[in-house]
Amino acid sequence: MIKLEHIVKTYPSGVIALDDVSLQIPRGIIAGVIGKSGAGKSSLIRCINLLEIPDQGKVIIDGLNLQTLSIAELRQQRRKIGMIFQHFNLLSSRTVYENIALPLELAEVEAELIKEKVANLLGLTGLEEKALAYPAQLSGGQKQRVAIARALANDPHILLCDEATSALDPETTQSILELLKTINKKLNLTIVLITHEIEVIKTICDQVTVLEKGKVVEENSVIELFTQPQTEAAKNWVRPALKFDLPASIQKKLHIEKKHHGQTPVLRIEFIGEQTAEPILSNLSLHYAIKFNILQANLELIKEQLIGIMLIEMQGDEAQIKIGMDYLMAQNLKVEVIGYADVV
């Protein structure tokens, strides 16, 4: 487990990068940290392996406080923490094979074992045919695969990813995320991934921490973050990703509070997992003769889980609307009245 306790980091310029940050990352998961530029993401991830030394607080990994270690002991612990970067940081004068082998050479691993481990890593990252190529001959995605293989050379328990997909196009980003998921499952590797791309969080992460101005404003599972964001900062990340905002023409007709009997409620309904395949609204209409108008609907795949979000206007008199609301709630759906409309 990675545990940060009350981390404070202030730079000589006076900028407070991290302000009393605490978080826990269980072993074997993919944890995302998201925030805008300047939120403190890079400082946070560099504190995990003490590339940045916190001014206050503790960095504890598997029960060991890293700040209590000698330089030699810290060097040994860092070999258990791999790291990849946005711009790859490969040595241009070394081949793919030689870049991957470098950490093993520095650790004075025997030549035969280096050969065996590099061959395995080339296979894991799909780079077998690029072993003798130089970085200048590689695409961006291939360079990042080399960086990942190099980071795995010392059999780390943790992989830190500092904006690892920011320099890549969407298709290549997807392939790198798939590789990270494979590595996470095959090696039971804890991955900490910082990003400013909510699509990356939605695709790969189990747990998400939202940073804003150096503070943790929300920490939750990825499903909970997308279905029940608690803070305005989290909502600002989630809304564009789920694409469920009402058109402006409808928003103008929407009132937060009910003003007269002629208004009908507009509901936000969430369907999770198997619920997305059930004919819940059809049954509502068929069995209770309740009419509704679908204003917006979207189906998203979040960490291999289907999430459906629908905005509907429920029509009918007070008694019918109550019956409809009770039925939806009885199906264990998340139902929220977001406003009332005159005519939608």
For residue 62, give the nearest of 182, 198, 158 by alpha carbon: 158
Question: Tell me, what's the pLDDT at 336?
Answer: 82
Domains of the chain plus CATH, in order, are: 2-241 (3.40.50.300), 248-341 (3.30.70.260)
Question: Tell me, what's the pLDDT at 114?
Answer: 95
Residue-wise pLDDT for 216-261, tens only, equals: 999 999 988 888 888 988 888 887 777 666 667 667 677 666 666 6
Question: Tell me, what's the pLDDT at 243?
Answer: 65
Of 138 and 319, more confident? 138
Question: Tell me, what's the pLDDT at 228?
Answer: 82
User: Does the structure show a pLDDT above 70 at 263?
Assistant: yes
What is the residue type of 215?
K
Residue-wise pLDDT for 268-296, tens only, equals: 888 887 877 788 888 888 877 788 888 87
Q: What is the mean pLDDT of the chain?
A: 88
Question: Tell me, what's the pLDDT at 240?
Answer: 76
Question: Tell me, what's the pLDDT at 29?
Answer: 95
Residue-wise pLDDT for 56-79, tens only, equals: 999 999 999 999 999 999 988 988
| Separation in Å, CA 201 to CA 31, 48, 231, 299, 301 | 9, 20, 17, 17, 12
Q: What is the DSSP string of 100-163?
A: HHHHHHHTT--HHHHHHHHHHHHHHTT-GGGTT--GGGS-HHHHHHHHHHHHTTT--SEEEEES
State the Cα torsion 5-6-7-13 to the nearest 10°: 180
